[in-house]
Amino acid sequence: MPRPRFHFTPRRHWMNDPNGLVHHGGLWHLYFQHNPEGSDWGNMSWGHATSPDLEHWTEHPVALAHRTGEQIFSGSVVASRAGGDVLTAFYTSAYDDGHQAQSRATSLDGGFTWKTDPADPILDRGTTAFRDPKVIRYDDGRHPRWVMLTVEADDRQVLLYASTDLVTWEHLSTFGPLGAAGVVWECPDLVRLPLDGDGDDARWVLLLSTNPVGDDPDPAGSSMHYVVGHFDGTAFVPDTPELRRLDHGRDYYAAVTFDDAPGGEAVTIGWMGNWRYAHAFPSDPWRGAMSLPRVLGLRTVQGRPTLMQAPPAFVRERLTHAAATSVAVVDRPAELSLTGHVLVELGWDPATTGTLRVRLRGAADAFVDLVHAPGTGSLRLTRGGPAAEAVHPDFPSTTAVPLPGDRPARLLLSLDGPLLEVFVGDGEAAASNLVLLGAGGVTASLETARPGTVHVTAVDIEAPSDADAPEPAAALG
């Protein structure tokens, strides 16, 4: 399995959720759920990587290691300027006796070494699925405070707490349950976003990850959702009580935002995996990859506030500097030769071409099909073939990504080895999938129902030079 080039993967061993995302001291810090000792889930600890630009990552020594009787589950980091340059981490202590509670650690050296709090755990309800603390800032100009979101995962509830000093926490409110039963709720976040760019008309968007549980769990596995609403510093009130799909692929989970991102932007990273088959994904010596970062926005689409997820600036920059080619698709498929690490933008007018079919194939006996039939208002994304079937019976998949058929369409495909992310237009929809196209080049065949033109911009992402190849970073401190 080729290692991704412009996505973070650990040098070795298992990784799941992003944790402790924070921008601090000019660096983007990414901590992550990590087994430092093996390629399966276990010994959960916080691994650590940093990036100056969200594209090139350097891995550092484990930041918070599991210890006897306690694993370090997901959580967050905030940068507080009050009282010095301190980073504070909140994570779930998952004790061997089965109970889960929230703990705290601080770093005085910019996030490289951490001291746990002697008072840990600092929030303990004596329950077994109380986890994933995400601390956010709330400032209405009168009562600035920190708000912590956690889940009681089995109850499908988000619990909100407030603090002014990051030490003492007071329960504010509880949100949920809502939506389908038969899942646990995990990794909540709450993000303030201006609607249609109007800072005076902001909404709060709750991000949630859900994972099927029980005797007959949904074979589609893990997925992410969002709820748009209002938050007054105490309670989150949804505009409509429904969970909306956040990513339309099979491999996007546990995404949360960075604290203190420049310009107050809401930047997320997610885990490109699915609990249904993550343990079976054949990559080595690493297992688990992060998504591209995304910049969140909120735009009115068909009368309702809709989450926008735009690819990061470096992706846009690469594409604007590349030349577009027009590919005439006449009576047989047009073939494009691509490397396996490439950004491809496609533009076409469904009114002229009718159905567009793009098939990706590489060295492995597997394929990815993207089919846009204008009348369906969606793009069907299928991954299949013997190599996909061999991963896990539930790995082959077909999902639908909203894509209107009545106007010129634009798609961005980011393919980085086994990671395929599809963005519609400016980020009106996104779909992330692990794919098995094999090592080496990939051929894209474009076929249209009627003769027409597809505008293609393709940018290869070069292999990192030795200077920034993923190699062990020197231990710090």
What are the residues binding ligand FRU (CB under 6 A)?
16-17, 33, 44, 73-74, 92, 131-132, 186-187, 253-254
> What is the C-alpha to C-alpha distance for residues 108 and 115, in angstroms, rounded to an integer?
9
Annotated catalytic residue within 17, 132, 189, 416:
17
If the CB atoms of residues 6 and 91 are measured against ligand FRU, the closer one turns out to be: 91
CB 285 within 8 A of CB 469: no
> How far apart are CB 249 and ligand FRU at their closest, in Å?
16
> What is the C-alpha to C-alpha distance for residues 30 and 439, in angstroms, rounded to an integer?
27
Q: Which residue, 45, 48, 65, is CA-closest to 57?
A: 48
DSSP state of 272: -
> How far apart are CB 238 and ligand FRU at their closest, in Å?
22
Place of tokens 């709060």: 204
> What is the C-alpha to C-alpha distance for residues 156 and 137, in angstroms, rounded to an integer?
23
CB 49 within 8 A of CB 32: yes
Instruction: Detail the DSSP E strand segments found in 36-177.
Output: 45-51, 58-64, 70-80, 86-95, 100-107, 115-116, 130-138, 145-152, 157-163, 170-175
If the CB atoms of residues 186 and 345 are measured against ligand FRU, the closer one turns out to be: 186
The single-letter code of the amino acid at 166 is L
> What is the C-alpha to C-alpha distance for residues 333 and 447, in angstroms, rounded to an integer?
5
Long-range contacts of 52-58 (CB under 8 A, 24+ apart): 52/26, 52/27, 52/28, 53/28, 53/314, 54/28, 54/267, 54/293, 54/312, 54/313, 54/314, 55/6, 55/312, 55/314, 56/464, 56/468, 57/8, 57/30, 57/470, 58/468, 58/473
If the CB atoms of residues 39 and 74 are measured against ligand FRU, the closer one turns out to be: 74
CB 270 within 8 A of CB 246: no
> How far apart are CB 185 and ligand FRU at their closest, in Å?
9
Query: Torsion angle, CA of 369/370/371/375, rounded to 10 degrees?
Result: 150
> How far apart are CB 186 and ligand FRU at their closest, in Å?
4
If the CB atoms of residues 270 and 297 are measured against ligand FRU, the closer one turns out to be: 270
If the CB atoms of residues 93 and 433 are measured against ligand FRU, the closer one turns out to be: 93
Place of tokens 């969970």: 243
> What is the C-alpha to C-alpha distance for residues 434 and 96, in angstroms, rounded to an integer?
32
Residue 84, number of CB atoms within 10 A of its CB: 7
If the CB atoms of residues 92 and 448 are measured against ligand FRU, the closer one turns out to be: 92
Active site residue 17: yes
> How far apart are CB 100 and ligand FRU at their closest, in Å?
8
If the CB atoms of residues 254 and 370 are measured against ligand FRU, the closer one turns out to be: 254
Q: Which residue, 458, 461, 369, is CA-closest to 416?
A: 461
What value does the CA radius of gyration of the chain take, rounded to a whole number of Å?
Answer: 22
> How far apart are CB 91 and ligand FRU at their closest, in Å?
8
> How far apart are CB 41 and ligand FRU at their closest, in Å?
6
If the CB atoms of residues 12 and 145 are measured against ligand FRU, the closer one turns out to be: 12
> How far apart are CB 276 and ligand FRU at their closest, in Å?
12
Task: List active site positions.
Answer: 17
